[in-house]
Amino acid sequence: MNWYIFWIVVFLIGIFTVSIYYSRKIKTADEYTMANFSLGFFPICGTIIATSLGSAAVIGSSGKGLEIGIGWILTKLPTVFFSILLAVLLGATIRKLKLYTLPDLFVRRFGKTSGIIPSLIISILYMTPTFGMQVVGMGSVLTIAFDISVTTAMLVGFVICVLFTLMGGLPSVAWTDAVQSVLILAGLIFLFVLGLNYVGGPGAVISNTPSESLNLFSMETTELINYLIIFGPFYLVWQTSWQRISAAKTEKIAVRAVSTGFIITFLIAFFSIGIGIIAQQVLPANTDPDLVYTQFLAAVAHPAIGGLFMVSLFAAVLTGATSFLLSGAMNISKDIYQGWIKPDASSREVLGVSRLSVAGMAVIGLMVALFITDVIAIYSYALALSAITMVAPVLAAMFWRRATKSGVILSVIGSLIVSVTWSLLGQPFGFHVIIPGLLTSFVLLITVSLSTNHSKDETVTAYYFDLKKEKDPSQAAAELENV
């Protein structure tokens, strides 16, 4: 009996049952993209964990564990710090704004023109290659399970992901994410323990592992700084966190669920990195980092158990893919279609465009997966550009009333130009493009804003301060019901 096939089929039947159930209930765009702003602690926390533990976090961290060792855990610190900071500091404000997307904040504060570039960057430049990464991950899992070619496996994974996302939207994604997060966590922990036992226990790992792999500060300083800056500020503007905060039933649920989700994600990283360290004693030294997790799994686990672990990996990759598709589709349907093309579009029309956007982005992401060899490099670059163009304007919208539309637009365009130029110059001094890009963004926003006036289509405000006295939408709705 092929246990890999058995477990994956059982898993797929389960998630598609949930998807079919929610597809029959969804009637509006709010229900499809934001679960009607009614999600509780478990689905919010679960979807944060499951989305964070995608292809890069599980497969990538295991590979880095083999290559670098325990020092890779330091790159996870900025993610959890900035994500919790976002939830605690800005969670209440985000909910009061009832934002659908991050560019929606640009439009409300600085006018319609300011939201176009962020919408394109998130939906096309960031979400699309990120989805492509997940397709590659699904392909690697399905290749082992079904003994088919990588290309065929990626096509199968693509179809599964698109159908699931198209049918159920955020309600099915969030609830299946919650269940899958348990499966992912269990799979990582059990495989780590199984691997320890396979090589002879913790003592054998410590005595047989090179000292640099167990050195927390083994990474070169410049490389570590680059990673810390890349993974830090970006999570202030990670649209997935913003949407989950907005979609929660209450402010308390939003803050606690998002914070808890990222803390668990950080702690579980020790297990995925640890798998890579243990794998140094099981796999050849020249093993492709992207294959460390799956090859280690095949080496140490009986297929009956390994098949269940393989499902946990497939769940991690699938859940990331669905969330990224859904998030990017909102940028197209809400920010571009409803924001520019047809402002008076009905909810049903926006729902239709959301589903078409999911399909369109998925096809582009599939092309990236099939024809571009270094998907990780594209992903890292897209992640950096997202932070470069959006961190300064978002902070300005929240905290600085003097920021102007001209300052924001020139900040976005200027930082993009500097970043691309820095990249073409070969990243002088070894510093990643995000460093000069972010500096340029802040300098331009401040200097141009101070030398220009507010435009007529701006809302001159600092949302963090000006919305403090407003009630959370859930509290206001409850009071209205009691009247």
Q: What tens digit of pLDDT does each residue of 320-329 get?
A: 677 777 777 7
pLDDT the model gives residue 404: 96
For 45, 146, 359, the CA distances from 328, given in Å and listed in that order, are 20, 30, 11
pLDDT the model gives residue 481: 52
- What band does 410 get if pLDDT is binned at 50, 70 and 90? very high
CA 415 – CA 409 distance, rounded (Å): 10
Domain ranges of the chain: 3-376
For 76, 83, 190, 284, 305, the CA distances from 194, given in Å and listed in that order, are 24, 32, 6, 19, 10
What percentage of the chain reaches a pLDDT higher than 70?
87
Q: Determine contact, residues 58/314, Cβ cutoff 8 Å.
A: no
119: left (phi over 0), alpha (psi -120 to 50) or beta: alpha
- Residues 6 or more apart whose CB falls under 8 angstroms from that of 207 comprise none
Tens of pLDDT, residue by residue over 26-46, are 555 555 544 555 678 887 888
pLDDT the model gives residue 115: 84
Distance of CA 249 to the CA centre of its chain: 21
191: its two tokens: 């495989």
The answer, yes or no, to whether residue 365 has pLDDT greater than 70, is yes
- Residues 6 or more apart whose CB falls under 8 angstroms from that of 220 comprise none
The owner of tokens 């909102």 is: 330
The string of DSSP codes covering 162-201 is HHHHHHHHHHHHHHHHHHHHHHHHHHHHHHHHHHHHHHT-
Question: Which 3 state secondary structure label does DSSP give 28?
Answer: coil
Q: Is the model more confident about 54 or about 472? A: 472
Length of the chain: 483
pLDDT the model gives residue 46: 80
Residue type, 415: S
Q: Determine contact, residues 107/403, Cβ cutoff 8 Å.
A: no
The answer, yes or no, to whether residue 308 has pLDDT greater than 70, is yes
Question: Which 3 state secondary structure label does DSSP give 79?
Answer: helix
pLDDT the model gives residue 34: 47
- What band does 171 get if pLDDT is binned at 50, 70 and 90? low
β-partners of residue 39 are 248
Tens of pLDDT, residue by residue over 244-269, are 898 888 889 999 999 999 999 898 88
The answer, yes or no, to whether residue 482 has pLDDT greater than 70, is no
The highest-level CATH class for domain 3-376 is mainly alpha
